[in-house]
Every structure is written in structure tokens, then in C-alpha cells.
Amino acid sequence: MQTMRGRLLPSLNAIRTFEAVARFNSFTRAAEELNVTQSAASRLVRSLEEFLQVPLFTREGRRIELTDQGRFYNALVRDSLDLIEAGTVELISSKAGKGTLSIGMLPTFGTRWLLPRLPSFQEAHPEIALNIISSDGELDFTKERIDVAVRFGHGEWKDAIIDPLMSEEIMVVCSPRLMEGTQPITDYESLRHHRLIRHSTRPDSWEHWFRSVGAHREEQQWGPSLEHFFMIIQAAIAGLGVALLPSFLVEDDIRSGKLVSPFKDRIAGPGAYYFITPASKSELPRVKLFRRWLLDQLD
């Protein structure tokens, strides 16, 4: 007959103390944070080492350093405490849909598309505080401490609800001063007289555009390589070169005359924008309210 046994877990106080000592690399500072004496902090870490039967720190006088086993265990403990803390905050803030909704947002998409629309959400749901975090790297909801996110890609995110928001229509834009200069852009070939501004996270964008419009790519002059669309927009307005940008991001600048488009061509971009909700948070009231509102904005 199989017998039941409890979890093989050390004291939570010892775990918290170990994590604090490892974080500060100091028993004194850890003890101050935990509001215990230094000797108490030392005893708790000793008790953890005895429980595990491995040394977690090397000690030379007042100097301490994590052992290899200590570094391994610290990574596990830190991640576990982060999850517990995030879950605790989640439960406290999720009552009746209240609390803070943290949104991982692409910088330019957030500035140009989302922020102008957000007042209607806040008016409808004043009980929900919004925390907009500039986020365009690898998506890790726990590490970034975000509830939902907007990303550009091909809809391939695991363990999540994926809602397509919009595709991209790419266009060439530049400052009106370039068109009024000695080398106006009149056809594809004339692009070789100008510097092409590149998007550092989409290095093949210009190659995709040349191929899509059927243009022969001459030896091109490359301008600055910039990380975000809003930087590329400002560089184009300043006359630093010719840019390739999603049409919905530059409509206002073209309307105001800050930018012009020398070609009528609009090509489909290689991906689309998606709203991503982790499955673990999909039933939270504030997440459901925001997702429903956001998708309504597409009508």
C-alpha cells in the first residue's frame, strides 16, 4: 500500500533569509531588511544548509560568496518567490475587476494608436488603473510583470489567447525638403541618391519592399539604423533619409505636411499586430474588460 508523505520543503523563513543574503551578498543588510538580528539571519541560513546538506556560501571572515550549489539554488528560490509575490499582488488587486492592469506595449504603436483611444476605456472603467510599459523584446509575462501585451509577429505565442489586431501597410516617406532638393524622388531608381533609414529590429524591411514592388535594387546608401518607429519617423521628418513605415503610424504627419510619400505603392508587411493574453490571466475581470474594449476599437 502506497503511503502519503508531505512535501520535502525547508522553512520559509530560512528561504526568505537565504534569498535576501544572496541578493545583498551581506548578512547585515539582509537582517536589516527582514527586521531580524544578524546572528538570527546567520542561524537561519545555517539551518537551511543543514537541511540541504550542502554549503550555500563560502565564508572568509566577514566576506561571503555563493557556492556553485548556492547560485543554482538561489536562481530557483528567486524565481519561486517572484511567482508567489506576483500571485499575491494579483489576488489582492483583482477583487471585482479593480486594481492595476499592466500592459506591455510596443512603443510607437502605443503612442500613435493606443494612447489616443484610452480615455474612453478609463471613462468606462475608472476603477481600473492602467500601467503602460514599453515592451518589445521577448515576451515573458512573469518577468516583465505584465498582464497583457501587444506584439508584432505571426501569431505564434504559446499558452495564450491570440487576437489579431491589424496588419501593416508599408509605405515610403520622406521630408518635403528632399523632394524640393536637387535629387527629387521621382522613381525607384532615384532612391539611390538618398540614404535609406533602417529599422534595426526589422533589418530585411527594405529588401522586402524592393522585392514586392518589383524594383531593381541599386547600390543603396544606408542612413541611420534605429530601434523604434517613432525614432525613424523623427529622423525622416528631420531629413536624415528616406523611411519605410506603416501607413497608420504616419497618416497625421502626412496630413500635416511634415512628411510626404513619393510613391503610391502600399505593400503588405511581413507580419501583423496581435493582442496577447496569457491563459493564466484570461479570466481576470480587468483583463476581460480591457480585451473586450480593445477588440471593439477595431470595428
> For the chain, how many structural domains are there in total?
3
Identify the H or E element spanning 243. strand 243-246
85 inside domain: no
Q: Which CATH number belongs to the domain containing residue 227 in this structure?
A: 3.40.190.10
**Torsion angle of alpha carbons 29, 32, 37, 40, nearest 10°?**
-60
Query: Which residue from 106, 110, 91, 104 is spatially nearest to 143, judged by alpha carbons?
Result: 104
281 with 161, same domain: the answer is yes
Q: Assess whether pLDDT exceeds 60 at residue 174.
A: yes
If DSSP codes are grouped into helix, strand and coil, which group holds residue 273?
strand
Average pLDDT rounded to a whole number, residues 39-57: 95
1 inside domain: no
163 with 291, same domain: the answer is yes
Report the C-alpha gap between 130 and 33 in whole angstroms: 30
152 with 176, same domain: the answer is no
Highest average pLDDT, of 36-45, 90-99, 208-217, comes from 36-45
Contact between 128 and 289 under an 8 Å Cβ cutoff? The reply is yes
In percent, the amount of the chain with pLDDT more than 70 equals 95
Query: Which residue from 200, 196, 199 is spatially nearest to 217, judged by alpha carbons?
Result: 196
pLDDT at 143: 78
159 inside domain: yes
Residue count of the chain, please give it: 299
2 inside domain: no
Q: How many CA atoms lie within 13 A of 229 on its CB side?
A: 24
Q: Which CATH number belongs to the domain containing residue 16 in this structure?
A: 1.10.10.10
pLDDT at 65: 94
Q: Assess whether pLDDT exceeds 50 at residue 1.
A: no
Domain extent, residue 44, equals: 12-79
Average pLDDT rounded to a whole number, residues 118-145: 87
229 inside domain: yes
pLDDT at 118: 94
pLDDT at 283: 86
pLDDT at 34: 94
pLDDT at 138: 80
161 inside domain: yes
Contact between 150 and 172 under an 8 Å Cβ cutoff? The reply is no
30 with 158, same domain: the answer is no
pLDDT at 95: 59
Average pLDDT rounded to a whole number, residues 37-59: 94
Q: Assess whether pLDDT exceeds 70 at residue 93.
A: no
Return the higher-pLDDT residue of 14 and 79.
14
185 with 225, same domain: the answer is yes
Mean per-residue pLDDT over the chain, rounded: 89
Cα–Cα distances in Å, from 75 out to 52, 58, 68, 72? Answer: 16, 17, 11, 6
Question: Tell me: the pLDDT tens digits for 237-273?
Answer: 999 999 999 998 999 999 999 999 999 889 887 788 9
Return the higher-pLDDT residue of 7 and 52.
52
H helices of the chain, where? 12-24, 27-34, 38-52, 68-93, 107-109, 118-124, 141-144, 176-179, 205-213, 229-237, 247-256, 285-296
